[in-house]
A and B are shown apart, each in its own frame.
Chain A
Amino acid sequence: MARMKFLLDSDRCIECNACVTACKNENEVPWGINRRRVVTLNDGAKGEKSISMACMHCEDAPCMAVCPVDCFYRTDDGVVLHSKDLCIGCGYCFYACPFGAPQYPQVGNFGSRGKMDKCTFCSGGPEDDNTKAEYDKYGANRLAEGKLPLCAEFCSTRSLLAGDGDVIAQIYKDRVARRGYGSGAWGWSTAYKMGTGA
């Protein structure tokens, strides 16, 4: 059984934001909600690196642990999803997430922040696969069609890899070996227990 992960090769990311655009379009993500975002470190200086971040679909997901209504679940592929029907918009998952994945449609908490939204690894939600109901709430379900997330498919430099963790870790290892350098699979030691071994 595949264990789905993202791997961002920060040595290749050119901050083109194709991944962001792909995600926004494919999932009809409203303005103000940033399922995927590109953060640039050392902007304009030597050692500038850009990192594309959505959700890491962690092993021992902190969001799942702290949710007061237990609205998260994990699929067989290791993808962390949640139910917008149960979500009360309290925002605790955002405080717990090391990567800032949860997004909310309302700014303040006083009227509730609204239902939390986040990267689904293009895997939809609890609704039946590829129905309109699922699409309206959670966006596309590409995994059910046998496809991989669109952000990685669109990546112009193949910096963002998505798929079975072992497969993409191997791709990255080969890459690092061939070119002679690599800053590592960023975020993997935080999100997963075993890291890449790269």
Chain B
Amino acid sequence: MKAFLTATVAAIVIAIVAGFILKAENESATAAFTTTSARVSTN
């Protein structure tokens, strides 16, 4: 029982951590495809 519960918690924790890391990496299309000459408004 303990192994099962520990594993479930571990799975959730790994998922949350992965989520944070990848979300931080995710770029908006505006940021990804802006060229240096473009003035992008921030609204």
* Residues of A near any B CB (own CB < 8 A): 30-33, 103-108, 110-111, 114
Contact = CB atoms under 8 A, between A and B. Distances in A.
A30 B30 CA distance: 7
A106 B31 CA distance: 9
B33 A31 contact: yes
Interface of B: 19, 22-23, 25-34, 38, 40
Q: Which of B19, B26, B38 has the most CB of A within 10 A?
A: B26
* Majority-rule SS of B interface residues: helix
A146 to B, nearest CB: 30
* Majority-rule SS of A interface residues: loop
B33 A106 contact: no
A37 B9 CA distance: 47
Given A31-B38, A31-B40, A111 B30 contact: no
A31 B30 contact: yes
Contacts of B29: 30-33, 103-107
17 contacts: A30-B29, A31-B38, A31-B40, A32-B29, A32-B30, A32-B32, A32-B34, A33-B29, A103-B29, A104-B29, A105-B29, A106-B27, A107-B26, A107-B29, A108-B22, A108-B26, A110-B23
